Structure 1
Amino acid sequence: MPETAPSLQRLMAAHAIAETKARYCRYIDTKQWSRLASLFMPDCRFEGLGSAPAGADVATFVQGVSTRLANTISVHHCHMPEIRLLGAAHARVIWAMEDYVDWTDGSTVKEAPGSRGFRGYGHYEEEYREVDGEWKISFLRLTRLRIDPVDASQPPALKGQWQATPDWLDAD
């Protein structure tokens, strides 16, 4: 969307894109894998992820992340988006990100050898396309600036007392 587009239209598109990314983080952390798949264009490609090879398609990514994070407590935060609307239905975005992943089954992690998890910092570089009023991710690349290990000698992570309600927003 060129800079001459109405400000309200640009703002509404940016908000819808941010909601898509919020769902991405929530669906991963609450392990809602079929919902996660719905956030992507069918031809989406992925890069830089430990759960899928570069160039992976949606099915490969979701299968990889669901398998990799099955026995974890994870927390993903994305914030400070830089959103560039390139047309009425196309955008590029960079998100600052932080993730915490703790394997609860005693596994160790390739990102932090000898540890049981990690806290990572970096950026998502993404493209979005709008189809039928919905903004979907059409390209996703994860870049990392830093990874801090979660030492295996630390006390185990505990799940919160209240768990997520998957259909909370859909309830009447």
Structure 2
Amino acid sequence: MNQEDDAKLAYLMAVNAIQMTKARYCRFVDTKQWDRLRTLFTADCRFEGLGSAPDRADLDIFIQGISRRLAHVVSVHHCHMGEIELVGADEAKVIWAMEDHLEWQDSGEVVEAPGNRGFRGYGHYEECYVRQGDTWKISLLRLTRLGIHPIPDAQPRLGTGRLGANPDWLPSDRRLR
């Protein structure tokens, strides 16, 4: 391989690693694996636009906020079509199209959809990633919303599947403990 091929391969490997980080983000949030979620971020990560933490919150405040807010919520997060740009050898900026479904299982207050039991949201994550060793971590997570559709109390509740998530299904998950 020549130098140009090496650069292309390095780019593809970086893109794949960033996609894996974001996939884990969605899975760890939805399966409430808060300790594993924490491992996806840099120690100095900042968060903006989230209902679970104030703007410019640090990692501890984000984890405390999201774990408390989603404790009695069925959530489904999907991220699609990542636009990934390397802005340096160890830095990237990314935009993910996103959709989320949040449904409170108790009588919690749904700030985004008052008088309803949840919402479906649409928007984008704007994120910065940095490479730390062989791992790409999120250093800025900003959620922008295009819309929120309330889930009225009269709508049928989400059903749960017959099997729960296996937190150790992937060999890499065991290393995240």
Which category describes the TM-score, using the shorter chain as reference length?
over 0.9
Q: Structure 2, unaligned stretches of length 5 or more?
A: 173-177
| Equivalent residue letter for 1:107 | G
Instruction: Please say if residues 112 and 148 of structure 1, whose CA atoms lie closer than 8 Å, have aligned partners that are also in contact.
Output: yes
The answer for the alignment partner of 1:159 in structure 2 is 160
Residue 170 and residue 98 in structure 1: after superposition, are their counterparts in 2 closer, same or farther (change >3 A)? same
- 1:75 maps to which residue? 76
| Paired letter, 1:116 | R
**Counterparts of 2:154 and 2:125 in 1: how far apart (Å)?**
31
Aligned partner of 2:101 in structure 1 is 100
Change (3 A) 1:108 1:154: farther
Runs of 4+, deviation exceeding 4 Å: none
C-alpha root-mean-square deviation of aligned residues, in Å? 1.5
Q: Which residue number corresponds to residue 175 of structure 2?
A: none
Q: Secondary structure at the match of 2:117?
A: strand
Q: Could you state the TM-score of these two structures normalised by the residue count of structure 2?
A: 0.92
Question: How many percent identity over aligned positions?
Answer: 60
Question: Size of the alignment, in residue pairs?
Answer: 169
- 1:168 aligns to what SS in structure 2? coil
TM-score of the pair, normalised by structure 1: 0.95
Give, in whole Å, the separation in 2 of the partners of 1:108 and 1:60: 20
Q: Please give the alpha-carbon distance, in whole angstroms, between the structure 1 residues aligned to 2:150 and 2:48.
A: 22
Aligned counterparts of 1:140 and 1:156: Cα–Cα separation in 2: 30
| Inter-partner Cα distance in structure 2 for 1:49 and 1:89 | 26
* Structure 1 gaps, min length 5: none
Offset, 1:161:
1.2
